[in-house]
Structure 1
């Protein structure tokens, strides 16, 4: 499994930041590696809620279907899957002074014949981290 993680700080309250980030369809507003995210479920976010996304990786757009598998307090975890990868995306928001700290973690398990290349793909997956964190920081700042 390849893990990519990072944190950003924001002046938003933890509750406000999580209310925004737990609506996974907002991901396309701050993560350039995920330009399309569409809700497939109705109502408030809950375990079992589904999303369709298109992830951009190495110049190609790949569809991936996500489902919320954990939702508790200021923590959400989604499982995404397509023919090439199984992904687990977690967002955790905790208080930090008068604002909050957001930690975003993405775990990837490569499937199929490319699985043998998984150790060599870590740098490519790591290259997704900084643009996503920068976008996240900027978006949260715009919400203050």
Structure 2
């Protein structure tokens, strides 16, 4: 299951990448994130993070890895726990008027019994969460 959104923000691509390429900023723009802490690495490829998120009334912990880090155009983070794997992909395109187009995609793979239970229950909430995420990203980037 996945969601995708494409939108534009009034910030240069280097600034957008610097902000969103640091996964600890999820506390500011991801409505589901409760906490994110860097646990190893320098912020680039291979950096790991401990993330606690809340989704549909449940708190879950995931360990995220930076699996793609290509400044200033692309970053991917993959989070895992026993019940799911989540991959957040962000692609950035500079525009001629010093704005940045962001393509955001979140992929979710559920494990065990969750692969049968989660998709029909979570689909609408994941779509709504993606819309909330875009709005919070826009607000956070506009405030830089």
Fold-level match, TM-score > 0.5? yes
Q: Displacement of 1:118 after TM fit?
A: 4.3
Aligned to 1:137: 138
C-alpha distance in 2, partners of 1:119/1:63? 19
Residues 35 and 8 of structure 1: CA distance in aligned 2, closer, same or farther (over 3 Å) = farther
TM-score, normalised relative to structure 1: 0.91
Q: Give ranges in structure 2 of 5+ residues lacking alignment.
A: none
How many residue pairs match? The answer is: 141
Contact 2:7 2:102 in 1 (8 A): yes
RMSD over aligned Cα atoms: 1.3
C-alpha distance in 2, partners of 1:52/1:91? 19
Report 1:85-104 matches (<5 A).
85-96=84-95, 97-104=97-104
Q: Displacement of 1:41 after TM fit?
A: 1.6
Q: Give ranges in structure 1 of 5+ residues lacking alignment.
A: none
Aligned to 1:40, the other structure's residue is in SS state strand
**Which of 39, 44, 48 is equivalent to 1:50?**
48
Give 4+ residue runs of structure 1 displaced > 3 Å after superposition.
none
Aligned to 2:126: 125
TM-score, normalised relative to structure 2: 0.91
